A and B are shown apart, each in its own frame.
Chain A
């Protein structure tokens, strides 16, 4: 069974600093997709970044980047130059490429940005 673990229930960062959110997952498959979603106080889930397992290059989206370590089954999110608007819950998610079409979510990390 696929499981996604986010070991940091809460994190904080000073505005303009860098923070890394951790995520590990368990799978026996070689091909899959990984996502980071952001859930601000409005509670709408917003896609932050995605990574394809067969790509070795780490994905980047402006101030957001990932450190994808396939062998270690690790998928951390780095937020650079943190802004007040980055404060939110962040969910890591895994999607397999076989069987039922489904995303498996971690339990989330609440990020606080300190002005």
Chain B
């Protein structure tokens, strides 16, 4: 079955360490997205990519980095510069830049930094 796989489901890190969240899709979608979800704040866009080797900052990109070397993969690195990294992270994809296309979401990764 086609879908989006995020791993791991739970991730624990010490403060000051960089950590990379994995996102893989086999839907052959061009566009991929990373969202952060905090209680009471809905989803906020971190980064998005509409094509391989290209990506743009979203609303809250500071302290995060991404790469898009392959169409299927869009890993997110949470760096030590991110002041409040503990959150739930959702990866999503869509077929292209068509605004009618809904986003397909992964199951998310819960990151806890202590």
When distances are taken between beta carbons in the complex, the residues of chain A under 8 Å from B44 are: 105
The answer on a CB contact under 8 Å between B42 and A95 is no
Q: A64: CB under 8 A from chain B?
A: no
The answer on a CB contact under 8 Å between B41 and A35 is no
Q: Pick the contact of B42: A32, A35, A96, A105 (CB < 8 A).
A: A105
Q: Mark A42-79, 1 if CB is under 8 A from B, else 0.
A: 11111100101000000000000000000000000000
The answer on a CB contact under 8 Å between A43 and B107 is yes
Question: In the docked arrangement, what's the CA distance between A73 and B44, Å?
Answer: 21
Closest CB in chain A relative to B41 CB, distance in Å: 6
When distances are taken between beta carbons in the complex, the residues of chain A under 8 Å from B102 are: 35, 47, 50
| Residue on B nearest A44 in the bound complex, by CB | B107
B 56-114 contacts with A by CB, 8 A:
56, 58, 88, 90, 92, 94, 97, 99-100, 102-103, 105-108
- Count, chain A residues at interface, CB 8 A: 25
Q: Mark B25-58, 1 if CB is under 8 A from A, else 0.
A: 0000001000000001111110010100000101
A 7-61 contacts with B by CB, 8 A:
9, 32-33, 35, 42-47, 50, 52
Q: A84: CB under 8 A from chain B?
A: no
The answer on a CB contact under 8 Å between A43 and B41 is no
The answer on a CB contact under 8 Å between A45 and B99 is no
A 89-110 contacts with B by CB, 8 A:
91, 95-97, 100-103, 105-108
When distances are taken between beta carbons in the complex, the residues of chain A under 8 Å from B58 are: 102
Q: Pick the contact of A96: B45, B56, B99, B107 (CB < 8 A).
A: B99
When distances are taken between beta carbons in the complex, the residues of chain B under 8 Å from A9 are: 40
**Which residues of A does B touch, CB under 8 Å?**
4, 9, 32-33, 35, 42-47, 50, 52, 91, 95-97, 100-103, 105-108
**Which residues of B does A touch, CB under 8 Å?**
31, 40-45, 48, 50, 56, 58, 88, 90, 92, 94, 97, 99-100, 102-103, 105-108
**Besides A33-B100, A45-B43, A106-B42, 6 other A-B contacts (C-beta < 8 A):** A43-B108, A50-B102, A91-B42, A91-B43, A96-B99, A105-B43
